[in-house]
Structure 1
Amino acid sequence: MIAVLLAFCAMHVGVGGLDVCLAKTEKSHLSDLRTQLKGFTKTIDDLEKGLKGKHFWGNDGCKKGWDRFRDYCYYFNKDKKSWFDAERYCRAESSSLVNINDDNENNFVMTKSKETNMEYTWTGAYNGDAGKWIWASTFQPVKYFKWYPNEPNSNGRVACVHMYSKTGGKWNDPSLTLYAKDM
């Protein structure tokens, strides 16, 4: 009987509406659900209004204070930190030190470094096992380099890479314990 009733109601929605087929308890339950839905909708609207005032995220999809380039968000921290401390700081922000993959990205980082008066900027590159340069975030080999003349010159010691903005964004391979500004 229920299957017949539901089929009948579905066929007659345009004629008398679904409410004709509902019992009093079903009508009451439906009314309660509609009231709850209105309440949820108001709560969602209020939350959205509140978040718009907070500006946690910009229109470019990055957190406030971060800059977008291509598909990534970049944060330039002006505090002096060792490479390890800079990497830890980035990890705490659910990010990593920058992986620079081409001239355009290198120029972007160099330009932002100059704008924020950062003379040295850490990258995520270091010469791990067997002296091969890899990215700390992915452990993938570094394929793009922008070395300053006579670099790298770590001579077998473990080193990292920082960019020197006053040399047109050329790279140096200092000791991991050197302090520089990070991004």
Structure 2
Amino acid sequence: MGSQIVSLVVNDQRREFIARPGTSLLSALRESLGLMAAKRGCGQGTCGTCTVLVDDRPVMSCLVAVETIEGASVRTLEGVARGGELDEVQSAFVDGFATQCGFCTAGMIMSAEALLERDPDPSREDVVEAISGNVCRCTGYASIVAAILDAARRRRDAASSGGDAPAVPAGSEAADGAGVR
């Protein structure tokens, strides 16, 4: 069986490319579309570095044959920032020092985006469960969980004020997750 044209909506843009059957979504994103945020880690779906959203659900893109999601909507880290501005999750990761080497960061952020889109007020346990498929070997997870809880608060504050919520300085009570359920 030869190559075929695959059509996806990637970061809100219709994209078509040629792929061989069995080409992973990760390979298509990186090699055909030049989107490099999702990383190849284990290649077996256990580390989460390749996490992207397909139809708003987090998936390990190394495990998805791209032809099986023809026509789907795919969002990568490159599609999260709007108008050159970091969104709340990205900002909270930066402000809360939730990255070290950065290898897991794109996958962590995409898992967090999916969580906050379905649950704007998650508990600490909800966050831990949402990122349970994402491995970080550097941070110990505490700063990542706190950043996601902070991002949730920022989004709720922005929604209630009708605009952007002010950033909470890293190390403050809200940024470190204290007092957040």
Q: Same fold, TM exceeding 0.5?
A: no
Structure with the larger strand share: 1
TM-score (norm 2): 0.26
More helix per residue:
1
If the length of structure 1 is used for normalisation, what is the TM-score? 0.26
